[in-house]
A and B are shown apart, each in its own frame.
Chain A
Amino acid sequence: MSSDALLFYAFAGVAVLGALLVVSQRNPVYSVLALIASFFGLSGLYVLLEAPFVAVVQIIIYAGAIMVLFLFTVMLLNVPREDAAEWDKSHPLYRPGAVRIGAVLALLMALQLGWALSRTPGLSAGVGDDTAAASSVSDLGVKLFSGAGDGSAGYMFAFEVTSILIIIAMVGAVVLARKRED
């Protein structure tokens, strides 16, 4: 096995294990920490895919900023642990009808996914074996800040719209979390 394959399986294992821990932990603080571990695994995968910019942004913005926001909220609220006994009583999965319909749907989707993967050509060739990697950050910046036209789609409009989205989200968060006077 080549070193690339070994690294892929190591990082993929970290990502999947972290995700499983997020879902299985009863204490939300541990869930957040497991998710940070999972993000580090994903970041390694991005390095393998020759996307260093995305790898670094994944660590700085996701594992840094967003997860700290989550951790801050968890500790601020002093969230109670999920009560297993209450879970058993109130969970919709204990209604037999929901379980049957859900199981059939999940089975159908798994079958369809397997079928689609088995029918797709070129899945066994190495990723990007025949194309050079576009990993230069300056190329990415040029594409991000150029307008549409000149034969290639630019992303400047989407970038500007994103800034409006962030302002709206910021104002919305402040309005929602504010203490009501009335």
Chain B
Amino acid sequence: MPIGHYLVLSGLLFCIGAVGVFLRRNLITMLLSVEIMLNAVNLTFVAFGRQFGTVDGQIITFFVMTVAAAEAAVGLALVIALFRTRESLNPEAFTTLKW
């Protein structure tokens, strides 16, 4: 398959993730959309790694996955703490810092 196909697919997935972050009003779904975006980027790294015949793309993917795991753990802990104070996951409910 040409690398252009992989790039277009990756861009499509990234757009779907961005749309999810912007349109959804649910903190957990927004975090899931961020995961979609991270995976779209991973696909690009692996495709280019294959194109150039090196393992560097796969290693960067490994690091992205580690950061994604850390982000998910901290993000979900924040979601739990927020849900405990407001009983809601709608970002519109958290306006204490709004001026």
Contacts and interface: CB of A to CB of B under 8 A. Distances in A.
Interface of A: 4-5, 8, 12, 15-16, 19-20, 22-23, 25, 28, 31-32, 35, 38-39, 42, 45-46, 48-51, 53-54, 57-58, 61-62, 65-66, 69-70, 73-74, 76-77, 79-80, 82, 86-87, 90-91, 93, 102, 113, 117, 120, 122-128, 131-134, 139-140, 143-144, 153, 155, 158, 162, 165-166, 168-170, 172-174, 176-177, 179
A66 B72 contact: yes
Interface string B66-84: 1111111110111111011
Contacts of B36: 19, 22, 35, 38
B50 A127 contact: yes
Nearest 10 Cβ contacts at the A-B interface: A131-B53, A169-B70, A123-B4, A176-B77, A173-B77, A23-B20, A177-B77, A19-B16, A127-B3, A173-B73
Contacts of B92: 90
Contacts of A32: 32
A15 B62 CA distance: 19
Interface residues on B, range: 35 or more
Interface in B7-50: 7-9, 11-13, 16-17, 19-20, 22-26, 28-29, 31-33, 35-36, 39, 42-43, 46-47, 49-50
A49 B47 contact: yes
Contact of A54 (B24, B26, B46, B80): B46
Nearest to A155: B59
Nearest to A118: B4
